[in-house]
């Protein structure tokens, strides 16, 4: 009885597919681990993100290729003539190529986006007025998530012009409205101090500076400062700098003007 069970288990129709599946899964894991190890280092955050995107795409391609080979080998074990299937797949591939032309265009465009450094997973981009973080790059589409949680799904073939705001330093030009009666010398001294304090905020770069008077409005003089920071951090940094300006102006008794309405009540004699 035991001998028969062993014979059944070790039949090629039983043990063969198991071995093929085990080898295929091991190959996928080994190749994935090897690629991550070879491409894990990068000189900049942008390069690291780009490499992660390439790894993700290559892993998908290799995984599907190994799956196809596994299916062919398993069918061979069961005596299926895979040569005719492969030949049929070639003809079917041509037909599907025409039927799924848009899908093929998406795939080719996805490869081009990665190789031409358009963007990678984790980059912040603007496409058709929609700004957000790239959260996923597939063979067919790309997903961009806005700060409020909205996700924009774009077919790769439609991505022809994208603004990538993650590849360079960000510059924040912040206007500081100040009352006319404040002495210019005092205001400029305080703003220079604010810029120096801002440089201590994480991700703010030392190129930040006070630029001077930007404009003279009806009720205020607008002074201009430039805060240089790492990409993807500018929104929080702007809030931090504005808070710093408000606190410093209050401490130095410098007035920030606001719109006021004067009402005149004339009494007729």
Asked if the structure places residue 19 within a domain, the reply is yes
Domain ends where: 149, 164, 179?
A: 164
Question: Residue by residue, what is the 3-state secondary structure of 45-108?
Answer: HHHHHHHHHHHHHHHHHHHHHHHHHHHHHHHHHCCCCHHHHHHHHHHHHHHHHHHCHHHHHHHH
Q: 267: helix, coil or strand? A: coil
Q: Are residues 140 and 175 in the same domain?
A: no
The single-letter DSSP state of residue 148 is: T
Asked if the structure places residue 41 within a domain, the reply is yes
What is d(CA 190, CA 208) in angstroms, rounded to the nearest whole number?
15
- C-alpha dist (Å) from residue 85 to 82, 105, 152: 5, 26, 39
The single-letter DSSP state of residue 266 is: P
Q: Which two tokens stand for residue 257?
A: 């003007």
What is d(CA 167, CA 233) in angstroms, rounded to the nearest whole number?
13
Asked if the structure places residue 269 within a domain, the reply is no
Which position has the token pair 């998908």? 60
Where does 138-206 show beta strands of DSSP type E? 141-145, 151-155, 163-164, 170-178
Q: Are residues 144 and 201 in the same domain?
A: no
The single-letter DSSP state of residue 232 is: T
pLDDT digits (tens, 9 = 90+) for 30-78: 887 777 776 655 555 555 666 666 677 677 778 888 888 888 888 887 7
pLDDT digits (tens, 9 = 90+) for 173-224: 999 999 999 999 999 999 999 999 999 999 898 989 999 999 998 889 999 9
Asked if the structure places residue 108 within a domain, the reply is no
Q: Has this prediction a pTM greater than 0.75?
A: no
Domain ends where: 65, 99, 133?
A: 99
**Number of domains forming the structure of the chain:** 3
Q: Which two tokens stand for residue 75?
A: 């069918």
Q: Residue 180's domain is classified under what CATH number? A: 3.30.70.100
Q: Residue 17's domain is classified under what CATH number? A: 1.10.287
Residue 126 domain boundaries: 115-164
């Amino acid at each position: 009885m035991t001998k028969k069970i062993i014979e059944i288990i070790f039949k090629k129709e039983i043990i063969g597919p198991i071995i093929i599946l085990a080898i295929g899964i091991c190959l996928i894991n080994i190749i994935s681990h090897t690629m991550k190890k070879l491409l894990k280092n990068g000189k900049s955050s942008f390069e690291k993100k780009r490499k992660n995107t390439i790894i993700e795409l290559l892993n998908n391609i290799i995984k599907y290729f190994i799956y196809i080979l596994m299916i062919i080998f398993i069918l061979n074990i069961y005596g299926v003539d895979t040569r005719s299937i492969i030949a049929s797949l070639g003809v079917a591939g041509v037909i599907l190529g025409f039927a799924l032309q848009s899908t093929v265009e998406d795939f080719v465009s996805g490869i081009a986006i990665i190789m031409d450094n358009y963007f990678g997973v984790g980059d912040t981009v603007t496409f058709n007025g929609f700004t957000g973080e790239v959260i996923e790059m597939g063979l067919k589409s790309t997903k961009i998530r806005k700060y409020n949680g909205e996700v924009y799904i774009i077919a790769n073939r439609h991505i022809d012009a994208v603004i990538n705001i993650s590849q360079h330093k960000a510059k924040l030009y912040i206007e500081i409205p100040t009352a006319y009666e404040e002495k210019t010398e005092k205001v400029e001294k305080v703003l220079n101090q604010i810029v120096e304090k801002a440089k201590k905020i994480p991700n703010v770069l030392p190129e930040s500076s006070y630029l001077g008077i930007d404009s003279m409005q009806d009720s205020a003089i607008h002074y201009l400062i430039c805060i240089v920071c790492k990409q993807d951090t500018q929104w929080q940094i702007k809030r931090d700098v504005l808070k710093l300006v408000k606190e410093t102006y209050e401490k130095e008794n410098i007035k920030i003007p606001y719109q006021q309405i004067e009402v005149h009540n004339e009494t007729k004699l």
